Chain A
Amino acid sequence: DTAVSQTPKYLVTQMGNDKSIKCEQNLGHDTMYWYKQDSKKFLKIMFSYNNKELIINETVPNRFSPKSPDKAHLNLHINSLELGDSAVYFCASSPPWGLGYGYTFGSGTRLTVV
């Protein structure tokens, strides 16, 4: 029973393509996130949704579009992929009862743009 599941785990694609990464959590959490981890392992938040509502939208190219059909799902669609988009993308979720429980992360999607 995976708490936060992301698919696919690996994604290799050509420049200019459009791709999606899916994320689902079965923890009953209200808030979900997308993070990007670059080649130097730095984690940067991209988006956050609380109960399907966008609450954090960091400076990210508008080629990246998140979609949350319900509070258990948060997908990431990327248009016109560029070489610089190569990274590991993590989905995470957190409970509504505040700090102390941390985020639960998915296993990550390693995106390679060639």
Chain B
Amino acid sequence: AQKITQTQPGMFVQEKEAVTLDCTYDTSDPSYGLFWYKQPSSGEMIFLIYQGSYDQQNATEGRYSLNFQKARKSANLVISASQLGDSAMYFCAIGKRDSNYQLIWGAGTKLIIKP
């Protein structure tokens, strides 16, 4: 069975600083994917970034990067130069690498950016 752990229930960060949100996972599947989603206070779920287990390089999307350490089974999200609009819940999820995949979700981290 797959499992995701997000150990930071909440974080406060000063605007313009970099943020690292922790995510560790447990799976026995050799082929899997890791996802990060953002949920602002308005409630919608926004896909941020994806990392495949066989990807050699860490994924990046604009200010978001995923610090993938396979041996440690961690997939931390790094947000560079944080902005007030980054305040939201952030969820990490893991899924098997097949066509009908179910994502297993972490409990989320509430990030608040201070001006």
**B-contacting residues of A (Cβ < 8 Å)?**
30-31, 33, 40-45, 48, 50, 55-56, 88, 90, 92, 94, 96-105, 107-108, 110
The reply to whether B102 and A56 form a contact with Cβ atoms under 8 Å apart is yes
B35 touches A31 (CB 8 A): no
Q: A100-B50, A101-B50, A102-B47 are in contact. Are A43 and B105 (CB under 8 A)?
A: yes
* Interface residues in chain B, defined as those with a beta carbon under 8 Å from any beta carbon in chain A: 32-33, 35, 37, 39, 43-45, 47, 50, 52, 89, 91, 95, 97-103, 105, 107-108
Given contacts A43-B91, A55-B100, A98-B97, whether A105 and B52 have CB atoms under 8 Å apart is no
CB distance from A103 to the nearest CB of B (A): 7
Contact of A96 with B99 in the complex, beta carbons under 8 Å: yes
Residues of B within 8 A of A105 (CB): 44-45
